[in-house]
Structure 1
Amino acid sequence: MRKPIIAVDMDDTICHLVKRAIYHNNNDFPTHLLRYEDMLDWDTDHLRHPNCTQEIFYGRPGLFEELEVFDEHVVGEMEKLHNAYDVIIVTAAQPKTVIEKWNWLQKHMPFIPIENFFPCKRKTLINYDLLIDDGVHNLVPALQEGRKVLCIPHPWNLKAREQYAFQLLTTWQGAKEQVDLILGG
């Protein structure tokens, strides 16, 4: 009998990408300071300095290896989930960031094997029973396909959280128990 598959996003789900990108932006462009609370959409071009492109904001060499874990519970809860379910990491990545993301994952969650690491932007192409993600572009299609989702709340998904009945994962503390309830395990 196969274990249920839990697809888990990386950026801003198990680690903090936007907060770290904002930190670097604010150091590099002090005339255009950004705040996490102002990141109300994926398109943040109007917030950034004119010289700060998407590539500069998210493409800083080594950025993905320096990200902080989401909270103090995420590693332990991910290991519990890994032991109980078939956990796959499904993360959007540019070719040059794949190795950084893999290195981060091995540093913080070495129990996740390489065969469970999927660099993939279009998550609807992947088979899973539950998606844990912060991206509306992933959560809404999954919900529309009848899949189960857990949303990591951030300012950029507030509008969608108001529109859709996403179950929320506001902290990783107790995540395994929440997933058990959702999957009936």
Structure 2
Amino acid sequence: MARIAIDMDGVMADTTQQMIDWYAKRYGVQVDKDALYGKPETTGFPHEKDIIRSFLFEPGFFRTKPVIKDSQEVIRALQDKHEVFIVSAAMEFPASLPEKVEWLAEYYPFITWQNIVFCGSKTIVQADYMIDDHVKNLQPFKGQGLMFTAPHNVHVTDFKRVDTWQDVAGLLL
């Protein structure tokens, strides 16, 4: 049985799509997700990145993110074979904590509170695998880092890549 640490934002919850949706509602401009590929997170929109980053501090942003396809089914199956923890560096956005708890309760009710870890730095995480979309979290990780594909990380080649939750299932189930 392996211990698997899974990031929320960008891995379970579609942060990029949420930014696109919020931007469209706010400014009436639909940004194509493909136009964001290879660009740092919060960039690639017609307005400067500080405007997009400000969404992260607005009530409801974390609570209403779309679920990434197949994540619910695969994570439930992973729990049957492995020890699974949801690990989020949520302390940067303290107001996100209750929203993330509510979001997990709605979309992943099978994950108990004992298996949810909110932290500031993921350097404390000890697991066999970590599935994350950010280099900064995978670089110091001592286990096997799995880079979950997101527009901001498509050029990263330092880690084994998983493009979808079906890729995760093929690797860990």
Scaled by the length of structure 1, the TM-score of the pair is: 0.80
1:131-156 Cα offsets, whole Å, 9 max, x none, are: 001112112222xx4x2021111221
1:10-29 Cα offsets, whole Å, 9 max, x none, are: 11101201211221122213
Farther off after superposition, 166-175 or 129-138: 166-175
For 1:58 and 1:67, the matched residues in 2 are separated by: 11
For 1:45 and 1:150, the matched residues in 2 are separated by: 25
User: What is the identity, as a one-letter code, of the residue corresponding to 2:71?
Assistant: V
Could you tell me which residue of structure 1 aligns to residue 150 of structure 2?
A: 154
For 2:51 and 2:169, the matched residues in 1 are separated by: 39
What is the Cα deviation at residue 77 of structure 1?
0.8
Q: Which runs of 5+ in 2 are unaligned?
A: none
Could you tell me which residue of structure 1 aligns to residue 67 of structure 2?
A: 69
The answer to whether the 8 A contact 2:17-2:66 is kept is no
Q: Which runs of 5+ in 1 are unaligned?
A: 181-185
RMSD of aligned alpha carbons: 2.3
Could you tell me which residue of structure 2 aligns to residue 171 of structure 1?
A: 164
The answer to whether the 8 A contact 1:45-1:53 is kept is no
Aligned length: 169
Identity of aligned residues (%): 27
For 2:105 and 2:42, the matched residues in 1 are separated by: 30
* CA separation of 1:86 and 1:30: change in aligned 2, threshold 3 A: same
Could you tell me which residue of structure 2 aligns to residue 20 of structure 1?
A: 18
Give the match's secondary structure for 2:110: coil
The answer to whether the 8 A contact 2:149-2:164 is kept is no
Give the match's secondary structure for 2:101: helix
What is the Cα deviation at residue 103 of structure 1?
0.8
* CA separation of 1:126 and 1:35: change in aligned 2, threshold 3 A: same
User: What is the identity, as a one-letter code, of the residue corresponding to 2:15?
Assistant: L
Q: Which residue of 91, 99, 102 maps to 2:88? A: 91
User: What is the identity, as a one-letter code, of the residue corresponding to 2:74?
Assistant: E
For 1:48 and 1:69, the matched residues in 2 are separated by: 26
For 1:83 and 1:30, the matched residues in 2 are separated by: 44
1:101-149 Cα offsets, whole Å, 9 max, x none, are: 111111111111111111124111111110001112112222xx4x202
**Structure 1 segments (4+ residues) deviating >3 Å:** none
**Larger Rg computed on CA atoms:** 1
